[in-house]
Structure 1
Amino acid sequence: MKIIKSASLDTIDAICIDVESTFTKGLPNFTIVGMISTSISESRDRVKSALLINGFKFPPLKITINLSPSEISKKGTHFDLAIALQIAFFDTNKIDFSDYYFFGELALDGNIKDTSLIFPLVLSLSKKGQINKVVVCEESAKKLVNIPNLEIYKIKNLNDAIEFVKIEDKEKYLYEKKDIKYKTLQIEDEKYFYDTNYLEDFKDVIGQDMAKFAAMISAAGNHNLIMEGSPGCGKSMISKRLRYIMPPMSLEEILEKAKLQALDFKEVDFIPLRAFRSPHHSSTKSSIFGGGSSNARMGEIALSNNGILFFDELPHFPKSVLEALREPLEDNKILISRVNNKILYETKFIFIAAMNPCPCGNLLSSVKECRCNELEIQRYKNRLSEPFLDRIDLYLVMNDSFNDTKNRVTSKELHENVIKAFTKQKNRGQKELNGKLADEDIKKYCILDEESQIIMEKARFNYQLSFRSINKVLKVARTIADLNDNEIITKNDILQSLNFRRR
């Protein structure tokens, strides 16, 4: 019995699937079994049409195609190619398919198409070391070309696929590898990529020097940031420009971003620009955290992994959403449990939020009068709990003064500073940036001089800082020290870090 390899997604990980077939005497029939979805069931008509149009005789036998293992639910139209090859070579067992994986949807005329699942499938198999050679169409090959240690063979249609299987010299179908053409940063053995096209530039933000400094700290160390200020003072402008000054991305992070784009049914790109997700405050809890009764779907926090999750009008988000954010902000992962499956998502995003100081927004305004009473303001503030705020690294109160029009810092200048700080962190041997350091790494990398230790002890007593708050202060101080090119944390670094704590 011939076996042709393909794969199916189990939530976000790929599982190898063996496409098997039997051809027995009996009334002509064509069935596909193995816990298949409607999209696979419909492939019978696509495969039959493609074979007949291209001159192949459909065997007058009882054809049974099995997708093994049968207990796993399978979906996707990419099984078409493997199923068609099983039927095209039904009368021979001499051909060995074992070295190759086949993916592709068949058009009715036999042309092979790309599908949204092929890239995440191949990437997942490659990370597990289960795939070396893959046969796909040209559109799929363009996406897969950036995956390392992978031989890609490009075919156009069913006739090409059949010829590829028959011939011994398969080199003419080999797809040429191409490098990612962006600026690179080499740190030891790892290569990092970054883009210098600043489509939204910080030079458009008038004034707000402290907010720009906070944004640079946030980007350089992956720190969570909340900005509080009057409407129109620049909170959203700064948040949307933050992604352009984020640290360079490794090839693994670029591929992971592309995988999430494919799973979100978006066009895949390989630009070293981190994800930016901005759900509306009326979004449901399931849309933000992921869910679904049978198949768990990814939410906004999973799709923003290695990027930015931005909440505008923060207090207007439901209390249940804000409280549920505490675990992914602290642990950098979230477990979605359902009756049929459980899935663990990584959530290493920067959480950025913008909020008004009161319901009417004018409490901090220098030109408008606040219309809210004390009870309304207190209720508005109480929407954010202390445990939630304790997970925020940088808390900034912005004014609405636009007098300072001279200091127009650009995104390019901020990005260069971020890259310098990023390089220092990686050269220290840090696997994670400062904002995501584990407790044991804080002791190793966040070293204070004598003056800083005295100030930290006084701050702990005067501000009644929790253990988590102390760690947040140390992490921010470490990033500020990196931006100031200091090997250890100095008095100025720790004072600036304490200045960004919420009081």
Structure 2
Amino acid sequence: MKIIKSASLDTIDAISIDVESTFTKGLPTFTIVGMISTSISESKERVKSALLINGFKFPPLKIIVNLSPSEISKKGTHFDLAIALQIAFYDNKKINFDDFFFFGELALDGNIKDTTLIFPMVLSLVKKGEIKKVVVCEESAKKLVNIPNLQIYKVKELNEAIEFIKSEKKENFLYEKKEIKHKILEINSEKYFYETNYPEDFSDVIGQEMAKYAAMICAAGNHNLIMEGSPGCGKSMISKRLQYIMPPMSLEEILEKAKLQALDFKEVDFSPIRAFRSPHHSATKSSIFGGGSSNAKMGEIALSNNGLLFFDELPHFSKTVLEALREPLEDNKILISRVNNKILYETKFTFISAMNPCPCGNLLSSVKECRCNELEIQRYKNRLSEPFLDRIDLYLVMNDSFNDSKNKVTSKELHENVIKAFIKQKQRGQKELNGKLSDEEIKKYCILDNESLNILEKARINYQLSFRSINKVLKVARTIADLNANEIITKNDLLQSLNFRRR
């Protein structure tokens, strides 16, 4: 019995599937089994049409196609090509499909189409080391070409796929690999990619020099940031411009971003611009963290992995959402458990949020009078718990001054500083940027001089800093030191870091 390799997606990971078939005497029927979805069941009609239109006689036999292992639920139209090839070669015992994987949806005339699930499946299989050769259509090949250690063979239609199987010169169908066309940094033999286009520029933000500096620190070290200020002072403007000055991305991060785009049914791009997710404060807990009655589905925090997650009007998010954020902010992962499965998502996002100082928003305004009483302000502030705020690296109170300074800072200037700090972190051998360092890595990389050690001890006593707060101070100080080109954390670096702690 001949076996053709394909795959199915189980939440975010792919599972290799064997497409096998039997042709026996009996009443002519065509059945597909193996815990299949409706999209696979409908494959029978597409396969029949594609074979008959292209001159194949459908065998007058009892045909059973099995997708193995049968206990795994399968979905997707990409099985069409593998099923059609099983039938096309049913009477040819000499044909060997080797270790090729076949993916593609069949049009009724036999043309092969791309599907949204092909890219995340192939990427997952490559990471597991289960796939080296894949046969797909040209549209799929354009997406897969950036995946390393993968040979891609391109076929346009069913007849060409059959010709490929028969051919002894399979290299004629090989799709040419192409380099990602972006600016490249090479550090310790690793390549990192970045863009220098700034559709939204920091030069548009009038004044707010301290906020821009905080945004640069946030980007340089992937630090969590809260901005508090009156309406219209520039909080949202700064947040939306942050994604364009974020650090360069590795090829693995770019591919992971593309995978999440495909799973979110978005157009896949391979740009080194980090993802920016901005859910509304009325969003449900399931939409933010992932959920589903039987199968776990990704939420906003999983889709923002290696990117930015922006919460505007932070205190208006539900208490359950804010408290549930504590785990992914601290551990950079979250486990979603359901009756049928459990899935662990990575959540290495940079958390950005904006909030007003009071319900009416005018508490810090120099021109408008606040209409809130002390009780209303206290209730508003109490929506953010101390354990939640303890996980924030940078807390910035913004004024509503709009002095049009001639010394305008641009996104290009900020990005250049971020890249310099990024290079220093990678040259030290850091796998993660400063904001995501573990406790052991903090001891290794966040080294203070004697004067800074004394200042930190005084700050711990005076401000009653927790162990987590001290680590946050050290990580921010390490980033400031990198921006200032200091090998160890100096007094000035530490004082600036302490200045960004919430009082």
Tell me what 1:384 maps to.
384
Quick one: which amino acid aligns to residue 320 of structure 1?
A: T
Report the CA distance between 1:98 and its aligned residue.
2.3
What one-letter code is carried by the residue in structure 1 that aligns with 2:299? G
Question: Post-superposition shift, 1:295?
Answer: 1.4
Q: Does the alignment pair 1:480 with 2:484?
A: no
1:144 aligned residue: 144
Q: Does 1:32 align with 2:37?
A: no
Q: Name the CA distance, whole Å, in 2 between partners of 1:428 and 1:240.
A: 30
| 2:317 matched residue in structure 1 | 317
What's the CA shift for 1:246? Answer: 0.3
- In the other structure, the counterpart of 1:271 is 271
Matches within 5 A, 1:291-302: 291-302=291-302
Which amino acid is the alignment partner of residue 439 of structure 1? D
Amino acid across the alignment from 2:409: V
Pairing of 1:180-329 with structure 2 (within 5 A): 180-329=180-329
Q: Which amino acid aligns with 2:266?
A: K
CA distance in 2 between counterparts of 1:197 and 1:219 reads 16
Once the two structures are TM-superposed, the CA of residue 404 in structure 1 deviates from its matched residue by: 3.9
Aligned to 1:443: 443
1:407 Cα deviation from its structure 2 partner: 2.1
Whole-Å separation in 2 of the counterparts to 1:391 and 1:45: 55
Q: Is the 8 A contact 1:104 1:136 kept in 2?
A: yes
Equivalent residue, structure 2, for 1:83: 83
Aligned to 1:153: 153
- Match of 1:40, as an amino acid? I
Counterpart secondary structure, 1:153: strand
Q: Within 2, Cα distance between the matches of 1:118 and 1:252?
A: 17
Aligned mates of 1:43, 1:120 — CA distance in 2: 21
Matched with 2:469 is 469
- Give the structure 2 partner of residue 20 of structure 1: 20
Aligned to 2:58: 58
Any residues of structure 2 matched to 1:383-422 within 5 Å, and which? 383-422=383-422
Task: Tell me which residue corresponds to 1:99.
Answer: 99
Alignment CA distance shift 1:253-1:290 (3 Å): same
Partner AA of 2:475 in structure 1: K
1:125-144 correspondence runs (5 A): 125-144=125-144
| Letter matched to residue 243 of structure 1 | Q
Q: Say yes or no: does 1:426 pair with 2:426.
A: yes
* 1:349 and 2:355 aligned: no
RMSD in angstroms over aligned alpha carbons? 0.5
Structure 1, residues 310-354: CA drift from partner, whole Å, max 9, x if none? Answer: 000000000000000000000000000000000000000000000
Between the aligned partners of 1:448 and 1:272, the Cα distance in structure 2 is 33
Q: Report sequence identity in percent.
A: 88
User: How far apart, in 2, do the equivalents of 1:103 and 1:408 lie?
Assistant: 52
Indicate the residue corresponding to 1:167 in structure 2.
167
In the alignment, the residues of structure 2 paired with residue 253 and residue 28 of structure 1 have an alpha-carbon distance, to the nearest angstrom, of 50
Secondary structure at 1:473's aligned position in 2? helix
Q: How does 1:102-121 map to 2 (within 5 A)?
A: 102-121=102-121
- The separation in 1 between residues aligned to 2:129 and 2:413, in whole angstroms, is 41
CA separation in 2, counterparts of 1:170 and 1:448?
60
Kept in 2, the 8 Å contact 1:207–1:407? The answer is: no
Aligned letter for 1:345? Y
* SS of structure 2 residue aligned to 1:18: strand
| Helix, strand or coil at the partner of 1:497 | helix
Structure 1 position 194, deviation (Å): 0.1
Secondary structure class of the residue paired with 2:401: coil
Q: Secondary structure at the match of 2:461?
A: helix
Look up the equivalent residue of 1:178 and give its one-letter code.
K
With 124-133 and 404-413 compared, the bigger mean Cα shift is at: 404-413
Unaligned runs of 5+ in 1: none
> What amino acid sits opposite 1:329 in the alignment?
L
Cα drift, residue 473 of structure 1: 0.2
Q: Is the 8 A contact 1:8 1:14 kept in 2?
A: yes
Q: CA deviation at 1:405?
A: 2.2
Q: Which amino acid aligns with 2:464?
A: Q
Letter in 1 for 2:428: R
Q: CA deviation at 1:443?
A: 0.5
- Matched residue SS, 1:261: helix
The separation in 1 between residues aligned to 2:403 and 2:200, in whole angstroms, is 22
Structure 1 CA distance for aligned equivalents of residues 186 and 404 of structure 2 = 38
> What's the secondary structure of 2:456's corresponding residue?
helix
Alpha-carbon offset, residue 172 of structure 1: 1.6
Tell me if structure 2 keeps the 8 A contact 1:135–1:154.
Answer: yes
Matches of 2:462 and 2:93, distance apart in 1: 80
Distance 1:382 1:6 in 2: 53
Letter of the structure 2 residue corresponding to residue 484 of structure 1: N
Distance 2:255 2:430 in 1: 21
**Secondary structure in structure 2 of the residue aligned to 1:270:** coil
1:189 to partner: Cα distance: 1.1
Q: 2-side partners of 1:99 and 1:341: how far apart?
A: 30
Deviations, residues 449-474 of structure 1 (Å, cap 9, x unaligned): 01101110000000000000000000
State the distance in 2 between where 1:312 and 1:189 align.
Answer: 39
**Matching residue's letter, 1:257:** K
Moved over 4 A (4+): none
Count residues in correspondence: 503
8 Å Cα contact 1:228/1:396 also seen in 2: yes
What do residues 382-420 of structure 1 show as CA deviations (whole Å, max 9, x unaligned)?
000000000000000000001142121000000000000
Equivalents in 2 of 1:293, 1:39: separation in Å? 21
The alpha-carbon deviation at position 496 of structure 1 amounts to 0.1
Letter in 2 for 1:197: N
In 2, Cα distance between equivalents of 1:354 and 1:35: 47
* Alignment of 1:8 onto 2:16: no
What is the distance in 2 between the residues matched to 1:216 and 1:108? 54
